[in-house]
């Protein structure tokens, strides 16, 4: 799991802030919509998926009114009918890429994802062909400066709730769990009054491939094109984020 924080660092540093924020809001609204439709209705007290989606929306600084409007719209008769779909393929230099989407038009999304792969030296594979390269994990990001307790004092409780690994960076603590313990960890963090910046099920690569910086940049550019697509929620890959690659990226 080591290296997740490096990838998060790249995502934080790349891209215009206004554009990135708009994408984050779109993603959060779709997550809320799916949670209301599939998680058990518009009441976060009885719908843990919605409670998690609201927390993630707050984590990207979405205004409360916008969150409430998204919940209200998702509860109405004219709500968008979103479907979760995923795509697997290879980018240049043999890097595996897994793309998760939320869409109201599958045909449009398939065409868009296939086009991005083919125009950037990659190719779209069949569903299930690359899933074995990734491990499904719950990932929880906690901002250190917003912790109201000493983290060492709650580590044992978190391990009992399913924490498998902790990754510390300058600003964040990442907690990793088995995907089956995702809900259990959410409940534990709520009980311990720990504010979570973001929590989601992610696909962590079992093995990564290191490339020269120029080739690695091709992969980052490809991933960025996927993430610019409105239907794309998450992109996972097997590229190793090396210190040399991090150093080559200037802050926008």
Does the structure show a pLDDT above 90 at 16? no
Mean per-residue pLDDT over the chain, rounded: 89
3-state helix, strand, coil in the chain (%, to 5): 50, 25, 30
Structural domains in the chain (count): 3
Residues 12 and 60 in one domain: yes
The sheet with strand 96-103 has its strands ordered as: 123-124, 83-90, 96-103, 232-237
Does the structure show a pLDDT above 80 at 235? yes
Q: Tokens for 112?
A: 């868009």
Residues 218 and 171 in one domain: no
Residues 123 and 147 in one domain: no
Provide the domain limits for residue 125: 83-132+208-248
Residues 120 and 221 in one domain: yes
Residues 22 and 122 in one domain: no
Q: How confident is the model at residue 19 (pLDDT cuts 50, 70, 90)?
A: low
Q: Which residue has the tokens 């968008």?
A: 80
Helix axes 213-228, 106-119, angle to 10 degrees: 160
Q: How many CB atoms lie within 10 A of CB 44?
A: 21
Residues 195 and 230 in one domain: no
Q: How confident is the model at residue 10 (pLDDT cuts 50, 70, 90)?
A: low
CATH of the domain at 221: 3.30.70.980
pTM: 0.86
DSSP-derived pairing of the beta strands 172-178 and 134-143: antiparallel
Residues 113 and 215 in one domain: yes
Residues 102 and 128 in one domain: yes
Per-residue pLDDT averaged across 127-142, rounded?
Answer: 93
Higher-scoring residue by pLDDT: 3, 114 = 114
């Amino acid at each position: 799991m080591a290296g997740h924080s490096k990838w998060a660092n790249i995502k934080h540093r790349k891209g215009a802030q206004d554009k990135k924020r708009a994408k984050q809001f779109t993603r959060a609204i779709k997550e809320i919509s799916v949670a209301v439709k599939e998680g058990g209705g518009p009441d976060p007290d009885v719908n843990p998926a919605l409670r998690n989606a609201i927390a993630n929306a707050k984590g990207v600084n979405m205004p409360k009114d916008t969150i409430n409007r998204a919940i209200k719209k998702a509860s109405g008769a004219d709500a968008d009918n979103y479907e979760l779909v995923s795509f697997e393929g290879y980018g240049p230099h043999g890097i595996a890429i897994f793309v998760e989407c939320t869409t109201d038009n599958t045909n449009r999304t398939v065409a868009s994802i296939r086009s991005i792969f083919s125009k950037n030296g990659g190719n779209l594979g069949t569903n299930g062909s690359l899933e074995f390269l990734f491990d499904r994990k719950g990932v929880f990001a906690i901002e250190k400066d917003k912790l109201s307790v000493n983290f060492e004092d709650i580590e044992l409780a978190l391990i009992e709730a399913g924490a498998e690994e902790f990754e510390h960076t300058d600003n964040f603590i990442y907690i990793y769990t088995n995907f089956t313990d995702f809900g259990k960890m959410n409940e534990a963090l709520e009980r311990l009054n720990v504010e979570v910046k973001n929590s989601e099920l992610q696909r962590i690569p079992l093995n990564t491939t290191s490339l020269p910086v120029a080739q690695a940049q091709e992969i980052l550019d490809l991933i960025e094109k996927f993430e610019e697509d409105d239907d794309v929620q998450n992109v996972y890959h097997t590229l190793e984020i090396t210190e040399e690659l991090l150093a080559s990226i200037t802050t926008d």
